[in-house]
Chains A and B, each alone.
Chain A
Amino acid sequence: MIYELAAGFASALTPWNLLMCFAGVFAGQLVGALPGIGPSSAIALLLPLTFGADPTSAIILFAGIYYGAQYGGTLTSVLISVPGEPSSVMTSIDGYQMALQGKAGVALGIAAIGSFIAGTISTIGLMLLAPPMARAALAFGPPEYFALVVLGLTALAAVGGSVLKGLTTGVFGLLISTVGIDQQTGVARFAFDRLWLLDGVGFIVLTVAIFGVGEVLSSVGKPTPAPITNVANVLPSRAEWRASRMPILRGSFIGFFVGVLPATGATIASFIAYIVEKKVAKDPSRFGKGAIEGVAGPEASNNAAAAGAMVPMLALGVPGSGTTAIILGALIMFGVRPGPELFEKNSALVWAVIASMYIGNLMLLIMNLPLARLFAQLLRMPYAWLYPPILALCVAGVYSQANSIEDVWMLVGFGALGWAMMRYDWPPAPLILGLVLGTIFENSLRQSMTLSHGSVEIFFTRPISAVLLACAAAAVLAPPLLRMFRPRVAAV
């Protein structure tokens, strides 16, 4: 393995491949920051341009875009509360609060450091564990996915202040997720004969509307906060680092393992990392008010998940996420047949890509620390000046993903809803969570029930699913039970 890795570094360190790696992480950073354009569309757009090029360089470029985007998504979530990527929604909750408190630099800094550590840890994981991990991931059938999503849904109550409000908005998100063509039968539901509703409400549309437009509208009604003066600091203080280091570590492992499961990816990983941090925190009430752990954990996990998703792709030849599906397509275009034998048959390519991931993560760290300082300076401007460009970014981002004007109208409508939710203090994150998890929740439930001919036993007789459901039950039931028992213990 040492020999193969050394050969991989030799290949990744040639000037051309270094340039490709840099171009990839730079482009990834850029598209990650723009809502609407994600890494998958960026790769698809670049794909025809790379025909005829060396496959290794092209895959290094594409992989760079993929994990680079996880860094870029942080920027807009922290600075203007518009998550550039689905996996940055959780970051924006506490990251934006930190920015309002004048700690945008630190939030971006810890995100960059956390992402670097997580990216490196999960690349090591990819290197050492890929084949056995990939085989283990195959044990996940519909019942196991269902149980995992149930665990993810316990986050509904964890984000936002009031449990009742959190659950209500979460269920509303689940309802929105049923709009459009039903995957199991191919028939449209709640589309009201509107063509543009056949695919349902897009994640990007809802997120940008609720977080971006809603935030701008609700800020307009408030007195302008004073411009933030001290933003230059991007390196976390000793105390901040101490608070972040375990969340980064936990986030790395959660991200890697969740990322390995095909079709879950960085988004669910960041949700789970956030809940875990909130559950283990000594004072969970700080979450949502600028807790640095709430930035460090999810940011580490979404980056680790990007490397995790490469595991099934490289070791099994099955896509681990939407983006890796396109990278798989690219491999085919280059005449490299993805499959279980990729590691043996194309080991030079695989190891060069792995080596480039170490290099790319380092490049991103070096690039992001000064960038964090630079972008944090933006907040020296009064926020009021930023509102028009933010709105423009929201509209352009939403339109550009499907060239659809109806999406822009939905942005306006849901933006108004976002304003109302902030005005009356309803947490927005559960709504997004419901929408994202709703589709996979419903599909895996119906797939499982089809498989079992209608018996719910399937969830409890399969060990992985049973354990995950037990974890979910514990997450919901533990806090009230603990509260019930604590006074008695004190009385004894």
Chain B
Amino acid sequence: MFTRRSLMLAASAMPFLPNTIRAQAGWVPTREVEFVIPFAVGGGADLLARVIHKIITDEKLVPVPVTLNNRPGGGGAVGLGYVASRKAADPHTIILVNGTTQITPILNPAARTLTEIRPSMNVMLDDFLLFVKGDAPWKDAKEFIAAGKARPPKSIAFATGGTTDVMAITVFTKATGVEFNTLNFNSGGEALTQLLGGHVQACMGNPLEFMGHLQSKAVKALGVFRDSRFSALPDVPTMKEQGIEAPNFQMWRGLATPRGTPDAPALYWEGVFAKVVASPAFAAYIKENIATAAPVPGEAFAKFLQDQEKLYRDLLGKPA
């Protein structure tokens, strides 16, 4: 039985409790956590989620079991819709988000936007490079553009592996004024095959799929869309170095909780994901995928997403 006096006593005793017990006054998951992957088993996004899941499990970062739930469909729209309608404000749910989940609702108004989630932590960034065949006549991006300007518009064909590659081409077109012919394929691998076969003249792609061919000189990289050179590929100049005023363009991947998650669990998950990004296993994953670890927590991540949304809408010609 609590009396008024005993409550007051307890309250006055609080500041003197050791830190460990005070931390428990924050939030910890008490039942199974569901990790929603809005993409099919086997893709790049799924693989990243499974690596993160393995790190969380192996290093016992969470005291309860975490189960994976693939909800694929519609470029992330189905998974996001699932979290929006069934998991709102549930702190026992985490979801993988990436550029695709942000682009889908811009193109398809029926899909739920990222306002359905509370951004928790961006974990990595993927770069875009301009690739041509190894025996192509162009030495750098400048020569490539000069060739594009010398020919009638749309003479140079690009193969893409998805919407994000198309946007990288749009960035390039806006910066250079050269119009390209764009052929869309299912994956970066298919786009690469078309480039190797000589059916198209160029690709915009992430380093991962092209790395083996870059090393064997079957393809060469003419430039990268970032402000400073990429440490994994120090020989590839940035677009800006070559006098091309293209903005920094990278694709983000991160984690989130459902919209309306209270502050205490949100903080808890930020802490867990920070430990994931700091783990050696994650560093190895980043290295193998030739990506960049980029932990951006909570508020800053939300701000970053707002800027990206503006950039994407601008590139796709769909202002809000």
Contacts and interface: CB of A to CB of B under 8 A. Distances in A.
A142 B111 contact: no
Interface in A65-107: none
Interface in A318-348: 318-319, 322, 325-326, 328-329, 332-333, 335, 337-342
Given A328-B189, A333-B288, A317 B50 contact: no
A339 B75 contact: no
A47 B50 contact: yes
Interface in B135-185: 154, 157, 163, 166, 181-185
Nearest to A447: B183
B64 interface: no
A90 B289 CA distance: 39
A335 B285 CA distance: 10
Nearest to A334: B288
B42 A322 contact: yes
Contact of A183 (B103, B186, B194, B289): B186
Nearest to B40: A402
Interface string A96-131: 000000000000000000000000000000000000
**Which of A142, A316, A318, A447: most chain B CB closer than 10 A?**
A318
A193 interface: yes
A45 B184 CA distance: 29
B61 to A, nearest CB: 16
Given A139-B197, A186-B107, 11 more contacts: A181-B75, A187-B108, A188-B107, A195-B78, A198-B110, A198-B111, A316-B193, A341-B216, A447-B185, A450-B181, A451-B200
B111 A141 contact: no
A342 B212 contact: yes
B308 interface: no
A404 B71 contact: yes
Contact of B218 (A44, A326, A340): A340
A266 B47 CA distance: 25
B81 interface: yes
A181 B104 CA distance: 10
A312 B193 contact: yes
Contacts of A456: none
Interface of A: 40-41, 43-45, 47-48, 51, 138-142, 180-181, 183-184, 186-188, 191, 193-196, 198-199, 262-263, 312, 316-319, 322, 325-326, 328-329, 332-333, 335, 337-342, 402-404, 443, 447, 450-451, 453
A330 B11 CA distance: 55
B184 A447 contact: yes
A142 B199 contact: yes
B153 to A, nearest CB: 10
5 contacts: A195-B74, A337-B212, A402-B40, A451-B181, A451-B200
A198 B198 CA distance: 33
Contacts of A263: 186, 190, 193
A326 B288 CA distance: 15
A141 B195 CA distance: 9
Contacts of B213: 317, 339-340
A161 B110 CA distance: 42
B189 A319 contact: yes
Nearest to A342: B212
A403 B74 CA distance: 14
A138 B196 contact: yes
Interface residues of B, number: 56
Given A186-B163, A332-B288, A451 B211 contact: no
A438 to B, nearest CB: 14
Nearest to B183: A447
Contact of A318 (B47, B73, B196): B196
Nearest to A184: B184
A44 B54 CA distance: 13
B244 interface: no
Interface string B264-304: 00000000000000000000010011000000000000000
B29 interface: no
B192 interface: yes
B78 A340 contact: no
B196 A199 contact: no
Given A48-B53, A195-B77, A403 B212 contact: no
Given A183-B186, A199-B73, A48 B212 contact: no
Given A138-B196, A141-B199, A453 B154 contact: yes
B277 to A, nearest CB: 18
Given A199-B73, A319-B189, A341-B215, A40 B42 contact: yes
Contacts of B73: 195-196, 198-199, 402, 404
Given A138-B196, A138-B197, A262-B190, A340 B212 contact: yes
Nearest to A138: B197
Interface string B33-70: 00000001110101100110110000000000000011
B187 interface: yes
A43 B42 contact: yes
B318 to A, nearest CB: 11
B243 to A, nearest CB: 30
A183 B184 contact: yes
Nearest to B197: A138
A198 B74 contact: yes
A44 B288 CA distance: 17
Contacts of A194: 110
Given A186-B107, A195-B81, A450-B182, A340 B216 contact: yes
Contact of B54 (A43, A51, A339): A51
B41 A451 contact: no
Interface in B71-95: 71-75, 77-78, 81
A195 B108 CA distance: 10
Contacts of B157: 450-451
Interface in B86-135: 103, 107-108, 110-111
A403 B69 contact: yes
B20 to A, nearest CB: 32
A198 B75 CA distance: 8
Q: Which of B103, B157, B194 has the largest count of A CB atoms less than 10 A from its CB?
A: B194
Please give me the 4 A-B residue pairs with the lowest Cβ-Cβ distance, nearest first: A339-B212, A198-B74, A141-B199, A138-B197
A325 B211 contact: no
B50 A48 contact: yes
Contacts of B69: 403
B232 interface: no
Nearest to A325: B189
B41 A332 contact: no
B208 interface: yes
Nearest to A192: B110
A48 B110 CA distance: 34
Contact of A141 (B75, B182, B197): B197
Contacts of A317: 212-213
A457 B42 CA distance: 38
Most buried by B among A40, A181, A404: A181
Interface string B219-242: 000000000000000000000000
Contacts of A262: 189-190, 193
Nearest to B55: A48
A215 B299 CA distance: 56
Contact of B72 (A187, A199, A333, A342): A199
B74 A318 contact: no
